[in-house]
Amino acid sequence: MSSLDFRRVGVIARLGGELVEDSVASVARVLEAAGVEAVFEASAAETLPDDGRRVAGRDELGDICDLVVVVGGDGSLLGVGRDLAHKNVPVLGVNRGGLGFLAGVAPEDIESTLPEMLRGGFEAEEHFLLEAVVREKGREIGRSPALNDVVVHAAGRSHMLELRVWIDEQWVYDQRGDGLIVASPTGSTAYSLSAGGPIMHPTLDAIAIVPMFPHTLTSRPLVVRGSASVRVQVENAEATGARVSCDSQVHFDLTPGRALHIEKYAHPLRLLYPLDHSFYESCRSKLDWATRLGDR
């Protein structure tokens, strides 16, 4: 992809005060200087003076834009990933959140890095999503993609879940604990990491299955091929409060009698990064890999 391909760029932003507004304004200035048509989602347009800027809904942005720039945190990028992966439009994140593992551009680098990326100075990574489907007696109850993870957990009150897990229709184990995390490589540095799961390079074709506080001393995370299908059912009849959460943003009930099916989503998300981007450098800086005892 070259700069000639970026004729129309969509801009999405979460509402978040002056810092977000400043970053959206910087992105708008860069696009205007590059002669690129900018189309704004309503929340992004609200941060700028009303001077006839083109506004479109998120679904339309995926249809008409050659690139979508997201100003926000990882949560914003997760939502955009679920919404636009099937549109096959590349996405670039400007970090205005916390860790910002998914975002490729820091706010202070917008006006130096974004012009170079618009000229073709970038690398693209394909991040596959998971798709969760909840079924009951063959009837679909709910469906959603997930860029980070699909989590089975107790809802409303704290209680132990008894889960039965199959991979490719082979019974794996019955697990008693607080729940189960099924994570993509992208999500391996998110909730899965805090539960003791492995860190996986985002381009790896694999899925991590990580028990949450298992009631056993021998339970360990399991990594399977990316094309595997995972099925989870709640076995204890009293656990009527189990839920499925996709990226902690989309939720379904998982009562006894229902089955959760998880497979690779058909459409990957293309994330753009500057040419000097390094996943390992992100781990060093964001996970304090370079910190030694006694450092200040």
Instruction: Please list the active-site residues.
Output: 74
| Residue 167: strand, helix, or coil | strand
CA 258 vs CA 22, 101, 235, 266: distances in Å: 47, 34, 10, 23
Q: Which residues pair with 140 in a beta bridge?
A: 135
**Residues 201/185, Cβ–Cβ less than 8 Å:** yes
Residue 279: partners with Cβ closer than 8 Å, 6 or more residues away: 201, 202
Q: Which residues pair with 1 in a beta bridge?
A: none
β-strands 91-95, 67-72 pairing: parallel
- How far separated are the first and last CA of the chain, in Å rounded? 43
Phi, psi angles (nearest 5°) of residue 292: -115, 155
| Residue 288: strand, helix, or coil | coil
The CA distance from 7 to 128, in Å, is 26
